[in-house]
Every structure is written in C-alpha cells, then in structure tokens.
Amino acid sequence: MNLYDVPFIKIPSALITDHNLLIACSNIEKPIMISTGMSTMSQITDAISLLNKSESQELIVLHCNSSYPSKDPELDLNMINTLKREMAQCEKWGIVDMKLTIFQVLLHGPWVQK
C-alpha cells in the first residue's frame, strides 16, 4: 500500500466499513482523509476508532452526502457539528461538495474535497 509516495491517504465513503483497509491505512504514517458519506454514526465511530491508533497520524474527517452537486438544503452542515461533538478526538474537519463558499462562511472548515 505504500508503493507510491502520496502526501495523504483518502478513504472514500464507500469503503468506510472495510475494516481490513482501515487497519492497513492506520499502519502507514501518512495523514488520512475519510469521507463519511451515507454512513451511520456507528460506522463512522468504528472507522475513526480503527484509524485513530497513532498519535502522530493526522486524521481529517469529511462530511459528505450522496448527491452531487447538492442543493443547499441537502448539505446538512449541522452534521459537522454533530461529528465534532461525538468524535472530539478528531481535530480536523471538512466537507466533500461543490458548495465551498457556503461551508467556509458558515463553519470555517479548512478541508474541502472537490
């Protein structure tokens, strides 16, 4: 898995329940971005627990939904606050969407996947 010198590892929301992949990624000393997609809170918590094994490894949790481009009411930006509250051990948050300006204005998120 460490064949290429990539700056970070991105785990798509479709693979958030692949525990073998998450464990393998947690053993590589690279920042990890994980998209939450249509995952349940339990699935997100499990994934973060598996990935959050190393103190030195940076973990970035990205809120996203399943429609692209999303309409404003579908963004559910309050979910980021829920994730922050429920998973206080994670310090970096962001969003996967095309609504960059809304996110930056409302929540000042430093991470955006387009």
In the chain, where the domains are located: 9-113
Q: Which CATH class is domain 9-113?
A: alpha beta
DSSP SS3 for 13 = helix
The 10s digit of each residue's pLDDT in 23-71 is: 999 888 888 988 887 888 899 989 988 887 666 678 888 877 777 677 7
Whose tokens are 């579908």? That residue is 74
- What predicted TM-score, i.e. pTM, was given to this entire model? 0.74
- Segments in the chain forming alpha helices (H): 19-26, 41-51, 78-86, 100-107
Q: How many residues does the chain have?
A: 114
